[in-house]
Structure 1
Amino acid sequence: MLKPYAAVFIGAASYGVLSTFVVLAYDRGYSLGEVVGSQQMVGFLLTAMFAWYIRRRESAGAWRRNENIRSDERGLTSLTWTQRLVLMAAGMPTAITGLFYYQSLRYIPASLAILLLFQFTWIGVVVQAVRQRKRPSLPVLISLLILFTGTLLAAGLLEKGAGSFNMLGIALGFMAAVSYTLFLLLSGKAVPKAHPAYRGMWMMLGAMLLVFALFPPRFLFDGGLWSDLTLFALLLGVFGALLPPVLFAYGVPHIGEGMAAILGAAELPMAVLLSSLILREDVTPLQWGGVVIIVFGVAYPELMRRRGKGAAAVS
């Protein structure tokens, strides 16, 4: 059975491969609407199948125990329409994140786009501090300083200068980080007691409907879905919509949110590594050093917390 630590690591690394698939899809001539729309559709279908499997398993287990299950007590129908609409609204920022992030890949290298998306780490801290009207702790502030330093190095700003990058692409990448922060804030509060499979399905439905409203899914009718777009949709749907939520739902409760944040940083080096190996983007040793610093910056608060607990236990 997959260990919780490995599950979270694989889930984070799965997010890291998305940018490479998107760039390859663009190289084949597919548009933003086709890429994001097909991904959201496949993601919804996969999560719906997973929810159906969970429902059947629960029903079968109850039948073996001779329990009487009513349709309004278990399964998909256990959610009210108000709860479903709330989950659909909470899932829409994921679609917005995908639109900003994937569009930024048209203007800037994938290795830079993932760095900009990763700025959600400090944006979330700022938003939380404003909401709680409480200054972040010293370890968190030190972590933010480390993150800023690592970003400057990893983005190549010190070597190439900011003027060498497309500012529209940078703005889109940063907006992706903002929308992803919004998703993290909303997803944790949207019907938290519902089963993760059902939550994921309704959130993916909301994301898909939003994308279809902005970019009508012509690929469903013009034969585009029966081309290479299907392969990219499956890859993006599996690695972006199915594996990470399922693996996180399994692993995070066992290892805690702090350790999950550390392992979640695997998304960054995976994206940069694939950008270098597959997309042939030039990633210098100094940029790799910046990636290592960013990963350390994400891990720093949790390492300090564990160190404090260890010292308290010894004393």
Structure 2
Amino acid sequence: MKYVLLVFLGACSYGILSTIVKLAYGQGYSPAEVIGGQMFFGFLLTWIPALFFLRTKPNKRQLMLLVAVGIAVGSTGVFYYNALQSIPASIAIVLLFQFTWMGVLAEAIISRRRPDTPTLFSLGLLLIGTLLSGGLFETGGLAQFHLTGVIFGLLAAVAYTLFILFSGKAAVTVNPWIRSSGMATGSFLLVACIYPPVFVWNGALWDGLFPYVFLLAFFGILIPTVCFNFGVPHIGPGMAAILGAAELPMAVFSSFIILHESVSWLQVVGVVIILIGIILPELMRKRGKRQEASLS
């Protein structure tokens, strides 16, 4: 249960990011400054605690694997931002959340085992809840599904699925703090190539950008990466993908509380359905175990 809670906490941490990004954009900062700053400080924040565990250094192969997983994290942000250039945020978040079924499918293919009934039922609820809470039915329909945006949105979902999948398999014998710093290094290297960190020397960082990118690094790199590295190896990528759906309810909640954005009843219903879809598999499994115990 503690590993389930860790992954749930990491997913909720991701949900706060959209609110912080909107606040930063409202102050006039560019996506390059915001994304680049997030990855830069994420790199620093993850390496500070990792320095205390360097006595168990990963070998070169393990380090390369961790950097590769980190590139998947950085790719998620880059693809998602590009999706937002041509489609509304409500549609982009729905596309990103296809990682729920992608993660379960990937685990089924790798393990050569069909997902159990609770998992499949939960996925159905998550997809319905995502469509409702994302406000898809209130955005004007299929006319807003621009092909380029859809492609980037689905690529973001694939990249996030790869992160969930391999964060529980890459260099699992390495200390989780070291694993997190290695992944953050991969994210930073990728984003630095696309968005060079000019904010470090052009004055933007100390002219108001710092609080936003520091919070994005804390809630978007440090907390979720560490939580996933501790939790996913113990619960598997399929269950992690389901728990990852907690990001959307948290995004809706934080936007409502901090940004005072209006939330429709359809979105509230969608959030409730997502939460039921997250909790349901564990409840059904526990019930099945109790029934097996009573029969034996």
Instruction: Give the TM-score normalised by the residue count of structure 2.
Output: 0.85
**Which stretch of structure 1 is more off in the superposition, 274-283 or 182-191?**
274-283
Say whether 1:306 aligns with 2:282.
Answer: no
Structure-2 change in CA distance of 1:157 and 1:237 (3 Å): closer
Q: Match for residue 80 of structure 2?
A: 101
Q: Match for residue 28 of structure 2?
A: 29
1:11-37 alpha-carbon deviations (Å, 9 max, x no partner): 332211101111221222222221111
Sequence identity (%): 51
Q: Distance in 1 between matches of 2:143 and 2:122?
A: 28
Structure-2 change in CA distance of 1:157 and 1:17 (3 Å): closer
- Which ranges of 4 or more aligned residues in structure 1 deviate by more than 6 Å? 3-6, 251-254, 258-262
Say whether 1:273 aligns with 2:253.
Answer: yes
> Is the CA contact (8 Å cut-off) linking 1:17 and 1:274 kept in structure 2?
yes
Q: Match for residue 14 of structure 1?
A: 13
Secondary structure of the residue that 2:293 maps to in structure 1?
helix
Q: Match for residue 272 of structure 2?
A: 292
**How far 1:178 moved relative to its partner?**
1.5
Gaps of 5+ in 2: none
Q: How many residues align?
A: 292
Give the aligned residue type for 1:49.
Answer: I
Secondary structure of the residue that 1:189 maps to in structure 2?
coil
**How far 1:50 moved relative to its partner?**
0.7
- Listed as ranges, the matches of 1:114-153 within 5 Å are 114-153=93-132
Q: Match for residue 220 of structure 1?
A: 200
**How far 1:274 moved relative to its partner?**
1.8
Q: Match for residue 166 of structure 2?
A: 186
Q: Match for residue 205 of structure 1?
A: 185
Give the aligned residue type for 2:259.
Answer: L
Q: Distance in 1 between matches of 2:27 and 2:125?
A: 38
Q: Distance in 1 between matches of 2:94 and 2:155?
A: 12
1:35-75 alpha-carbon deviations (Å, 9 max, x no partner): 111111101111110111344xxxxxxxxxxxxxxxxxx24
Gaps of 5+ in 1: 56-73
Q: Distance in 1 between matches of 2:95 and 2:263?
A: 16
Secondary structure of the residue that 2:219 maps to in structure 1?
helix
Structure-2 change in CA distance of 1:159 and 1:232 (3 Å): closer
> Is the CA contact (8 Å cut-off) linking 2:7 and 2:228 kept in structure 1?
yes
Structure-2 change in CA distance of 1:182 and 1:248 (3 Å): closer
| The structure with more radius of gyration | 1
> Is the CA contact (8 Å cut-off) linking 1:262 and 1:299 kept in structure 2?
no
Q: Match for residue 134 of structure 2?
A: 155
Give the aligned residue type for 2:253.
Answer: L
Q: Match for residue 62 of structure 2?
A: 83
> Is the CA contact (8 Å cut-off) linking 1:32 and 1:99 kept in structure 2?
no
Q: Distance in 2 between matches of 1:293 and 1:49?
A: 39
CA-based RMSD: 2.9
**How far 1:137 moved relative to its partner?**
2.8
> Is the CA contact (8 Å cut-off) linking 2:133 and 2:248 kept in structure 1?
no
Give the aligned residue type for 2:135.
Answer: G
Q: Distance in 2 between matches of 1:145 and 1:7?
A: 24
